[in-house]
A = this chain, B = another copy of it.
């Protein structure tokens, strides 16, 4: 009667960030998410309060509660958590991502390009600029994973800018 417990991407975000940070409170995890992976895979704040407890119950994390003050819970990787993270990372994923872009969905469903394109183009330009600025700071940083993610983000933002810009006036 194994409890139906599953590891989701959110689980691995928590595990991965804890591997890097050593240990963290939910609030610290939240800041870590927002300043890094959140650009590519955002997570709700409240989930960073519940997910670590789920993982702790499953034996993947160790939990410590502070005595004074806010009586914060601090989490860190347990051996089982490290193993789960490693196994996940070393297993190629078969599936492909979907665009899941609301504006593209509207376009597909008959929206006028002119209604959407300008705002999307500008928003993607802003995002692209932010990524490029980040890239200037991060160049050469180790480990490379974050850098690669940023590269991917930049490539896709460029693709989006080109796409929406082409719909603003063009044919």
Contacts and interface: CB of A to CB of B under 8 A. Distances in A.
A37 interface: yes
28 contacts: A9-B100, A9-B105, A12-B105, A12-B106, A12-B109, A19-B109, A19-B110, A40-B98, A40-B99, A40-B108, A41-B98, A89-B109, A90-B115, A91-B115, A92-B119, A92-B120, A93-B103, A96-B123, A96-B124, A97-B104, A99-B153, A99-B156, A104-B149, A108-B146, A110-B145, A113-B148, A151-B163, A158-B159
Nearest to A144: B113
Interface residues of A, number: 65
Which of A39, A91, A111, A127 is most buried by chain B, counting CB atoms within 10 A of its CB? A111
A105 B37 contact: yes
A118 B89 CA distance: 15
B96 A109 contact: no
Contacts of A118: 92
Given A93-B103, A94-B119, A111 B145 contact: yes
A16 B20 CA distance: 45
A162 interface: yes
Contacts of A135: none
Contacts of A119: 92-94
A107 interface: yes
B152 A163 contact: yes
A146 B108 CA distance: 5
Interface string A131-171: 00000000000011110110111011011101100010000
